[in-house]
Structure 1
Amino acid sequence: MTNTILLHPTYFPSISHYVAMAQAEEIVFEVNDNFQKQTNRNRMYIHSANGMQLLNIPIKHTKEGVNQRFKDVEIEYAFGWQKQHFKSLEAAYRTSPYFEYFEDDIRPVFEKHHKYMLDLNLEIHEIITACLGVTWKTSQTEEYLKEVPEGIMDLRSLANGKKDENQFETYVQVFDDKNGFLNNLSILDLLFNEGRNAVNYLKNQQIR
């Protein structure tokens, strides 16, 4: 049976997303679902000096009660979130071992103006896999998969960070002497602290 997983593309996804991807033979991205608030589709968590910090991308909202497909969700640029997010990453990771090594790869995300959140998330996936030095087979759904075909593992729930209870081995984090180890943050936390050794780490973890 092929080890194929079904995932939502999210904003600099959690480590659990990448543990699943590093151990899969094929990754299918769900791109035909309705947008759901309070998920990692437009948010990530990083380790700041004050502990866990949420970075959230504002979106343009439709009329209340109207379902909107995620592929149609537009990013709101009126609040200067790009500058704020990059400054937060600098403050959190400037002293990490690999921030400067990957800075030029990551920075364009905060300079381009993608119209749609989905397009941004898909480009982020390409950037992160390039930083990790890996090539993974990916495809996209052609319609919303309410029932997942046999042979595909449905991991779309990982996009809901509050329900993701995966626990992973500790690694050195910039502020762990102050805050202790913070589990399952954005992949950026692992990348900036571990560099390309992150790939070995991902392959050695387990998803519930």
Structure 2
Amino acid sequence: MIVSGHQPNYLPWLGYFHKMKSCDLFVILDDVLHSNRGITGRNKIKGPEGPRLLSVPLARKEALIKDVKIINESRWYRKHWYSLQGCYARAAHWQEYRERFFVVYKDPGDKLAELNLRLINVVREILDISTPMIRSSDIPGITGKKGTKIINICKYLGADTYLSGNGARVYNDEGEFQRSGLRLVYQDFKHPDYPQQWGDFIPNLSAVDLIFNCGRDSKNYLTRQVIYE
């Protein structure tokens, strides 16, 4: 069984969903420390001026991701919705999918992880990704940090292979994976070009950019990674 995982990011990019589609079980790592340098609470969409950053205002940042609270007093969710509408109202599939996102933004709740998971589920349904998901906070007795934590999660779930993002190469101890009887493989994702508004193509945006521009064809731009034994 191939397991992969990632923190519950805000409006994730296509590589996130490629990794989800390429494994047998996807772990939402919500009981790790929130990083101010990460993108758990922000991502980019594309407007006529180019990439536009959407950032969720957070109250207590030094906490486990599952405990990070959102500051809703500024009504940031209205600003984000108006940004999405301003960027994609002319896109070919805005009308088709707008309501599925609007129901999240009209009632975002006060927990970052819960908000992000609702949006992730909307995107993965549109992309026709059926990979089961589990939250790491629901797995009992898991200890360790970074690679060690991942290994312990994989052991608990009965995995024989862990599909890692390339960014984790800097801290993955390949020897530790090998000693644990786990095969460690790295994601091979090549960002596709697709029809996009507003001039030259820009990669690495939120997956909503693909969805609003390409609609039902979006899933055809995201093929599962084949991992050979």
In structure 2, the CA distance between the partners of 1:123 and 1:167, relative to structure 1 (3 Å rule), is same
Which aligned pairs between 1:1-208 and structure 2 lie closer than 5 A? 2-61=1-60, 67-141=62-136, 142=139, 143=142, 146=145, 147=148, 148-149=150-151, 151-155=161-165, 157=167, 167-176=190-199, 180-203=200-223
Higher alpha-carbon deviation: 118-127 or 48-57:
118-127
Q: Cα offset for 1:9?
A: 1.0
The answer to whether the 8 Å contact 2:17/2:124 transfers is no
SS state of the match for residue 153, structure 1?
strand
Query: Where in structure 1 do 4 or more consecutive aligned residues deviate above 4 Å?
Result: none
CA contact (8 A) 1:13 1:186 kept: yes
Do the aligned partners of 2:23 and 2:163 also contact (CA within 8 Å) in 1?
no
State how far apart, in whole Å, the 2-side matches of 1:156 and 1:127 are: 25
Cα displacement string for residues 80-135 of structure 1 (whole angstroms, at most 9, x for unaligned residues): 21111111111111111111100110101211141210111111122122223432
Q: What do the CA deviations read for 1:4-45 (whole angstroms, capped 9, x no partner)?
A: 211111111111101211222221111110011132210010
Secondary structure at 1:41's aligned position in 2? coil
Uncovered stretches (5+) of structure 2, i.e. residues with no partner: 152-159, 169-188
TM-score, with normalisation over the residues of structure 2?
0.77
Contact 2:10 2:116 in 1 (8 A): yes
Q: TM-score, normalization: structure 1?
A: 0.84
Deviations 1:38-97 (A, max 9, x none): 3221001001110011000001136xxxx4111111000121211111111111111111
Give SS of 1:47's match.
strand
Q: How many residues align?
A: 192
Cα deviation for residue 139 of structure 1 reads 1.1
By relative contact order (CA 8 Å, sep 6+), the higher-ranking structure is 1
CA distance, structure 2, for counterparts of residue 145 and residue 129 of structure 1:
29
Contact 1:4 1:27 (8 Å CA) reproduced: yes
The answer on whether the counterparts of 1:29 and 1:138 sit within 8 Å (CA) in structure 2 is: yes
In 2, Cα distance between equivalents of 1:144 and 1:191: 37
Tell me how far apart the structure 2 counterparts of residues 205 and 181 of structure 1 sit (CA, whole Å). 23
Q: Which runs of 5+ in 1 are unaligned?
A: 159-165
SS in 1 for 2:92: coil
